[in-house]
A = this chain, B = another copy of it.
Amino acid sequence: MPVTMKDIARDLGVSVVTVSKVLRNHDDISEATRKRVLDRVKELNYRPNLAARGLVTGHTYLVGLVVPDLLHPFFAEVAKALSKALLKKGYYLIISSSEEDAELEAREIDQLLGRRLDALVIATSMATPGIFERLERQGPPLVLLDRSFPGLATNFVGVDDELAGAMATEHLVAIGCKRIAHLRGPDHSPGVGRLEGYRATLAKHGMKVLPGYVSATRASDVASRENGKTAMRELLALKPRPDGVFCFNDPTAMGAVDAILEAGLRVPQDIAVVGCGNLHYNDSLRVPLSSIDQNTQQIGERAARLTLALLEAKVPPKKKSIFVEPTLVVRASSKR
């Protein structure tokens, strides 16, 4: 059994209250007793029970983060930045992964609610906003991350996906591509946003989305490498064949490059490829991959700032959506 305040109080012949006060630096304690208490605390290696404390104070200094996949560097990096920024203000981050599974995510959220966290940050795997409507009505302050729902009024932090799609497509246009295709992502907001950015940019330049130029298969976030390869093979069979591809994410783009090389074509001379996410190793690939950088760290920091603002507010502030600006990183796969 761990040491409690009671043990210390008994040992020293003082009351629990006195011990409690010393530990929280109240100044209505004599130097003498303070020292006696502190010494005993050290000796016994005492640690306050944070759960008990939270029970009475009403806040836990715990913020929950739910992500679809910790193996995805994007989420790992957001977690890192978020954790660091929150820690500075004394808040501790609890991370859980839903493995892109809506049902598991619901269970995780339940757990976190049961622990009475002070706030919740969620990059959801859910297809519908139902759960979040309920959370907004009854639950701790909530910030949605990376994926949002049209029509749901909520706090949100993520990259501007439409801009990301537009920048990638704009770049392909700029290097002279005439027939630009898109290996699209899932039906969530990043997938749809990037697709919209692609569409809008083509339209702006008076270019058409040729039949089949938006992949039917939706690169899931896991195993998108294989998906990309398969989807690209289908694109290669089209006539006319595309001369530029914007891919939902980098693994998909890597798969696309695989398929293109496999068909005996060259990247970027025959087909230029741009991904999204800017993974760390893009530089060292067989064909170094151009990509849209999502400014991940900034996303984490802005999410932290927003969360802290919610935590410190007396009255619930107006819902706020923060869109971080992406950046284009050009490498060999689109250098002409």
For residue A73, CB closer than 8 A to chain B, the reply is yes
For residue A15, CB closer than 8 A to chain B, the reply is no
Copies of this chain: 2
Collect the chain B residues with CB atoms within 8 Å of residue A48's CB. 114
Collect the chain B residues with CB atoms within 8 Å of residue A71's CB. 73, 76-77, 80
Collect the chain B residues with CB atoms within 8 Å of residue A52's CB. 51, 55
A47 touches B80 (CB 8 A): no
A48-B114, A50-B114, A51-B116 given. 6 additional CB < 8 A pairs? Answer: A51-B54, A51-B60, A70-B79, A71-B76, A80-B99, A83-B97
B-facing mask of A55-83, CB < 8 A → 1, else 0? 10000100000000011010011011001
Collect the chain B residues with CB atoms within 8 Å of residue A51's CB. 51-52, 54-55, 60, 115-116
- Would you give 26 A-B contacts (Cβ < 8 Å), ordered by A? A2-B116, A2-B138, A47-B113, A47-B114, A48-B114, A49-B114, A49-B116, A50-B111, A50-B116, A51-B55, A51-B60, A51-B115, A51-B116, A70-B70, A71-B80, A76-B76, A79-B97, A80-B99, A83-B97, A94-B94, A95-B96, A254-B281, A254-B284, A281-B281, A284-B286, A285-B286
Q: In this complex, what residue of B is CB-closest to A134?
A: B45
Collect the chain B residues with CB atoms within 8 Å of residue A73's CB. 71
B134 touches A111 (CB 8 A): no
B-facing mask of A80-105, CB < 8 A → 1, else 0? 10011000000011111101000000
Interface residues of A in 112-140 (CB under 8 A from B): 113-116, 134, 138
B70 touches A96 (CB 8 A): no
Pick the residue among B45, B50, B77 that contacts A115 (CB under 8 A). Answer: B50
Distance in angstroms from A176 CB to nearest chain B CB is 26
For residue A110, CB closer than 8 A to chain B, the reply is yes
A76 touches B83 (CB 8 A): no
Collect the chain B residues with CB atoms within 8 Å of residue A96's CB. 83, 92-93, 95
**How far is A50 from B116 in the complex, measured between Cα atoms in Å?**
8
For residue A162, CB closer than 8 A to chain B, the reply is no
For residue A258, CB closer than 8 A to chain B, the reply is yes
Pick the residue among B54, B70, B285 that contacts A284 (CB under 8 A). Answer: B285
**How far is A111 from B257 in the complex, measured between Cα atoms in Å?**
46
Q: In this complex, what residue of B is CB-closest to A282?
A: B281
**How far is A45 from B93 in the complex, measured between Cα atoms in Å?**
25
Q: In this complex, what residue of B is CB-closest to A281?
A: B281
**How far is A2 from B114 in the complex, measured between Cα atoms in Å?**
10
A92 touches B70 (CB 8 A): no
A92 touches B111 (CB 8 A): yes
Collect the chain B residues with CB atoms within 8 Å of residue A97's CB. 79-80, 83
